[in-house]
Structure 1
Amino acid sequence: MESEYREMLLLTGLDHITEEELKRFKYFALTEFQIARSTLDVADRTELADHLIQSAGAASAVTKAINIFQKLNYMHIANALEEKKKEAERKLMT
């Protein structure tokens, strides 16, 4: 299940933002996640997804990422991530 959340974060979320948007995402990630600024500053998208999941757990990392995308007003990404998360949770329940 963790790999599914990692894929969600990367393919549905982080891969769809520009470098400038990624910087803004990392800025807000400082308050949402317990990750050092020095770690965030050098992390690429794949490493960032790993750090987010290690910091908060897979499902929580996706939820927190959705919150950050909403703060940044990237609603299309937030909505897409939310839908993917709900799909994964439905699969888990069946």
Structure 2
Amino acid sequence: MLRVIAIFAFALCQAGVVMSHWTGLYVECLCHEPTGPSVCASDFHTYTDACLLDCHRRRTGDFELHVVYNGPCEDLFNLMYEQQNYTPYLPYLLGSITEK
């Protein structure tokens, strides 16, 4: 029976399925090759892929950690910066000019 489980686990690993389990006080995560794009997590760290992010969540116990952007955090920060190329007080200034 144990041999069947080992063969099944090996097949899952070869298929790229994430495997993690408790070994005492340590969570063992097996992430082979990156399975997707890098991801930006809610802690604003870039992880190689969602598998490594999930392993970090399990190891630290931070189960509120989640993906906020599919891509590196640097790309997210650049997008946020590009979308803020406006004068924040312009509507206020225009409103005060047109009222006079």
TM-score range with shorter-chain normalisation? under 0.3
Q: Which has the higher contact order (CA 8 A, sep 6+)?
A: 1
Higher strand share: 2
